[in-house]
């Protein structure tokens, strides 16, 4: 595991910290200020626990059972029971990076000093993360209100030494065995601690942070592939002129247009339609080419809004009840996932539309009636060869899937807990479908890259030189094992390699070696 260390303090965390812990295995360390804040808040909880008046989460039941006062002799059992009963997830195991993000973000809230758990509980969570132990969390179980209850409960169960977890080697074993093997003592939960471990938006937030990182790469990649398609179709780059985008000043639109213009700098293909085809001058390109900055840019602006929401949530302490600096312990509704759920759904919508316009350009490259002189389906010997015909089918199937995933989850609500929790966010569901959409979008962009680079090479064979940045993208893609034009071959390995090339940021890196950093 990476030995980079992320220090968890009292004032939230950053998206970069989440990525480092979730994906890069960074170690976690509690700051001295966090330990002090934990201890101070715990003193408040202990004082309230000693009083006869009931306090929610300290000396009462939970949810619809909050009216029952729980005596001191049953409170440890109460906290254990909430974890055990709420660890009720079903379905496939959630990805390791999601669980690590979930745990880290819960630790971030614990360290704020607003939850009332003892410092040793937070330290145990940090120890579990640092040992590379990943609780088994299931796909289904969160309604995105009262937090991601079931997923967080499965994590809390591991802290207690119960349930199953995945070790650093990827083997699933009883959590108690894994803790013992790493010298970690299971926690004995006290007043409020079980509830505090379960009550947050951490799962949906972690998935939002990672989706934003992935989409930033994909939007830059899509600007590049759109430029490659424009070039292959002998389109005009005049529509990318900054003065045209300055009069409609959406920030993302200007960024995408600038990216495309920089990729196309020095191209011998753009604007050469009449010279190559002998046709009358083409005044305008099709919308999927001409309006790429507008569509890509609107998505970029949505990402900016998503980052704003994520940053606010990363600065939050989400729990119920919360411990306030003046010593009050107050119930609240901050666990409701609506702010995060909405933006997760919004991102699924723009991902679907980016996939849609990307596929339209691919189809245009393959259609001899609209590709301005390219061979049918970019085939080597059309008729004998089918070229990329079915690659576009695969891309179209992915686009259709993304459109289904764009249906919002956050507009749904199913009442729970005997109507006490009568409106929920479904933010976890929104996050899960966004992860699927992001994976599909990378594949869609990869198919356009595969088609556009082949088309540019076919143009180059006729003596027309692509832009230097385009040439760099083609050369890097070929070096990655993705073959160029020629007779039909087994396409699936090429498409898989193109997908990895895009997802891993290699397309952006290859182009930036020529253009300098793209936005």
Q: Kindly state the DSSP code that residue 282 receives in the 8-state scheme.
A: -
Q: Where are the beta strands (DSSP E) in 240-394?
A: 322-323, 329-330
N-to-C CA span, the chain: 30
Tokens 């087994």 belong to residue = 490
Retrieve residue 368's tokens: 């001899």
**510-to-162, 221, 479, 483, 513 alpha-carbon distances in Å:** 48, 11, 11, 17, 5
SS3 of 28-67: the string is EEECHHHHHHHHHHHHHHHHHHCCCCCCCCCCECCHHHCC
Cα-based torsion angle of the residue sequence 110, 113, 114, 116 in order, rounded to the nearest 10 degrees: 80
CA distances from 301 to 294, 367, 483 (A): 10, 32, 35
CA dihedral over 132, 135, 140, 142, signed as positive or negative = negative
Residues in the chain: 519
Q: Cα–chain-centroid distance for residue 350? A: 13
Q: What span, in angstroms and rounded, lies between the C-alpha atoms of 461 and 453? A: 12
Residues 306 and 343: beta-carbon distance below 8 Å? yes
Segment (H or E) for 92: strand 90-93
Kindly state the DSSP code that residue 238 receives in the 8-state scheme. Answer: G
Preceding omega of 321 cis (within 30 degrees of 0): yes
CB 330 within 8 A of CB 232: no
Which one is catalytic: 56, 219, 393, 450?
56
DSSP 8-state class, residue 466: P
3-state DSSP assignment of residue 155: helix
Tokens of 301: 């602006």
Measured in whole angstroms, the distance separating CA 431 from the mean position of its chain's CA atoms is 8
Sign for the CA dihedral angle at 406, 407, 409, 410 comes to: positive
Residue 56 known to be catalytic: yes
Active site residue ranges = 56
């Amino acid at each position: 595991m990476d030995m980079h260390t992320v220090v968890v303090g009292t004032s939230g965390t950053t998206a970069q910290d989440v990525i480092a812990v979730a994906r890069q295995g960074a170690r976690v360390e509690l700051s001295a200020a966090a330990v002090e804040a934990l201890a101070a808040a715990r003193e408040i909880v202990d004082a309230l626990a000693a009083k006869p008046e009931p306090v929610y989460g300290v000396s009462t039941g939970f949810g619809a059972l909050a009216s029952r006062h729980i005596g001191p002799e049953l409170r440890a059992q109460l906290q254990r029971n909430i974890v055990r009963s709420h660890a009720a997830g079903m379905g496939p195991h959630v990805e390791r990076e999601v669980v690590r993000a979930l745990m880290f973000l819960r630790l971030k809230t614990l360290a704020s000093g607003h939850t009332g758990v003892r410092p040793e509980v937070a330290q145990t969570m940090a120890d579990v993360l640092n040992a590379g132990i990943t609780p088994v969390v299931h796909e289904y179980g969160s309604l995105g209100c009262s937090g991601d209850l079931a997923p967080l409960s499965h994590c809390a169960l591991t802290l207690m030494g119960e349930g199953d977890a995945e070790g650093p080697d990827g083997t699933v074993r009883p959590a108690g065995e894994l803790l013992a093997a790493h010298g970690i003592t299971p926690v004995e939960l006290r007043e409020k601690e079980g509830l505090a471990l379960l009550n947050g938006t951490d799962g949906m937030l972690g998935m939002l942070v990672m989706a934003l990182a992935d989409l930033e790469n994909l939007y830059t990649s899509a600007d590049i592939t759109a430029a490659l398609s424009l070039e292959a179709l002998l389109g005009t780059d005049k529509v990318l002129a900054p003065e045209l985008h300055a009069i409609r000043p959406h920030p993302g639109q200007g960024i995408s247009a600038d990216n495309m213009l920089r990729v196309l700098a020095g191209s011998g293909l753009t604007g050469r339609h009449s010279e190559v085809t002998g046709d009358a001058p083409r005044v305008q390109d099709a919308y999927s080419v001409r309006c790429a900055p507008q569509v890509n840019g609107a998505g970029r602006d949505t990402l900016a809004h998503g980052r704003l929401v994520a940053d606010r949530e990363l600065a939050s302490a989400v729990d119920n009840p919360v411990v306030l600096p003046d010593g009050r312990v107050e119930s609240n509704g901050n666990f409701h996932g609506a702010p995060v759920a909405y933006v997760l759904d919004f991102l699924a919508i723009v991902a679907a539309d980016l996939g849609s316009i990307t596929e339209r350009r691919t189809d245009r490259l393959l259609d001899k009636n609209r590709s301005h002189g390219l061979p049918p389906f970019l085939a080597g010997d059309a008729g004998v060869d089918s070229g990329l015909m079915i690659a576009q089918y695969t891309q179209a199937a992915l686009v259709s899937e993304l459109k289904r995933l764009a249906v919002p989850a956050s507009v749904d609500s199913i009442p729970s807990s005997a109507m006490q929790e009568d409106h929920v966010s479904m933010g976890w569901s929104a996050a899960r479908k966004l992860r699927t959409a992001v994976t599909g979008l990378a594949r869609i962009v990869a198919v356009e890259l595969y088609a556009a680079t082949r088309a540019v090479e076919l143009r180059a064979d006729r003596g027309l030189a692509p832009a230097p940045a385009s040439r760099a993208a083609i050369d890097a893609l070929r070096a990655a094992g993705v073959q160029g034009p020629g007779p039909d071959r087994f396409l699936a390995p090429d498409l898989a390699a193109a997908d990895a090339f895009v997802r891993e940021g290699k397309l952006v890196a290859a182009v930036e070696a020529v253009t300098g950093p793209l936005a």
